[in-house]
Amino acid sequence: MTEMRWDVAPGDRPSIPASEQNASSGFLVYTLGLLLAVILTVTSFWVANTSAIWAPGVPAGLTVLAIAQMGVHLVFFLHITTGPDSSHNVLALAFGVLIVFLVLAGSLVIMANLNENMMVHSELMNLQMQR
């Protein structure tokens, strides 16, 4: 049982003592994750195609659903938890998320700003491209 003393590797089940660990609990975790992911995916497709939701709110709704589903995948499939034995993995993930956010938000803001301030040029480009 020396392994219990270490951080868990990402994807490892949290280090529950062997006496508590039964074969069905892992199966249950994956099945629950699959169910949640299916529900979120179906909801995403429904949100994109329905007219019951205020149209400008749809992208925000889809974003929330996607983030929720990524969370489900991280917890149920990759077993990244907030437990004390998984802190290195969570910290690495937090750094990754920070970089992803900087790359995405930075590119989008800068390019939107450029587009706005170079309207004439972009219109010219469109004229040239439309044969």
* Residues of the shown chain interacting with other proteins in the complex, contacts defined by CB under 8 A: 2-17, 20, 23, 26-27, 30-31, 33-34, 37-38, 41, 44-45, 47-49, 55, 58-59, 62-63, 65-66, 69-70, 73-74, 77-78, 83-85, 88-89, 92-93, 95-96, 99-100, 103-104, 106-108, 111, 129-131
Q: Minimum distance from CB of 122 to other proteins (Å)? A: 9
Return the structure tokens found at 131. 């044969």
Query: How far is the CA of 80 from the CAs of 67, 91, 93, 96, in angstroms?
Result: 15, 11, 9, 14
Rounded to whole angstroms, the Cα distance separating 65 from 50 reads 15
Rounded to whole angstroms, the Cα distance separating 62 from 55 reads 11
Dihedral sign for Cα atoms in the order 71, 76, 80, 85: positive
Q: Minimum distance from CB of 65 to other proteins (Å)? A: 7
Nearer to other proteins, 59 or 117 (CB): 59
Nearer to other proteins, 41 or 117 (CB): 41
